[in-house]
Amino acid sequence: MSSPTPAHDDVVHSEPFLRSLMRRQLSLSIACAATFLVALLGMPLLNYFAPAFMATRVAGFTLSWLILGILFFPFVWIISYVFIKRSIALEEAEAKAAQDGLTK
């Protein structure tokens, strides 16, 4: 084997650990990204197919303007809050699992 990586046969350096690590992180990121992309990419579609509805006046704003100009920002905050909470928890769980594996 010409690989310069020295052989580590513990849990942390095993292929299954890396795979589960990347899969769990990526699925969290994709779940959050999907929520946000549905909203972001859905807005032009709503504007396109339901212009009259999106032009409804809400307290002076058109619905479309209210969503994009104001409500979108808190929405993005919520997604990033949820992501950060979960990703820190995920890292803690992973670190713990790896350490448990090492001491076994």
Partner 1 sequence: MNALLAAAGIDPWIAVCSLVTVVITVGMGFWTAGKSKSAGDFFVAGRSVSVGWNASAISGEYLSAASFMGVAGMVMATGYDALWYPVCYACGYLFLLLFIAGPLRRFGAYTIPDFAEGRYDSPMFRKIAVCFVLFIGFFYTMPQMKGAGTTLAYIFPGLPYWAGVVVVGAVITLNVSLGGMKGITLVQAFQYWLKVFAITLPIFVLAAVVGQYQQHLAVNQTAQETTVTAVPGIERKALPAKAPKDEAWIAPFGKLTTKAVDASIAAASTPEEKTALEANKKPYSLLYTYSLIIALVCGTAGLPHILVRFYTNPDGVAAKRTTMWVMILIGVFYVFPPVYGVIGRSLTPELYDAVGAKGTDKVVLELPTLLAGRDHPLLGSVLSGITCAGAFAAFMSTFSGLLVSMSSALAHDIYGRMLRPASSPEQRLKAFKWSALIVGVVAVGLGSQVEALEINFMVGQAFAIAAASYFPLLFMSVWWRGMTMRGAATGMLMGGLSALASITLTSISDVAVAKAKKLTEAAELAAYWADHPVAKGIADFWVAHPLARILCEQPAIWAVPLSILLMIFVSKATAASVPADIRMKMLVLHAPEALGLKQEYIKEHEGLGGH
Q: Tokens standing for 55?
A: 């032009």
Asked if 46 and 39 touch (Cβ cutoff 8 Å), the reply is no
Q: Is 9 in the site for partner 1 (CB under 8 A)?
A: no
Q: Is 16 in the site for partner 1 (CB under 8 A)?
A: no
Helix H or strand E segment including 77: helix 72-103
Q: Is 62 in the site for partner 1 (CB under 8 A)?
A: yes
Asked if 29 and 84 touch (Cβ cutoff 8 Å), the reply is no
Q: Is 7 in the site for partner 1 (CB under 8 A)?
A: no
Other C-beta atoms closer than 10 Å to the C-beta of 32 total 17
Q: Tokens standing for 102?
A: 């090492």
Q: Is 101 in the site for partner 1 (CB under 8 A)?
A: no
Residues within the interface to partner 1 (CB under 8 A): 2-6, 12-13, 15, 18, 21-22, 25-26, 29, 32-33, 36, 40-41, 44-45, 47-48, 51-52, 54-55, 57, 59-62, 64-65, 68-70, 72-74, 76-77, 79-81, 83-84, 87-88, 91-92, 94-95, 98-99
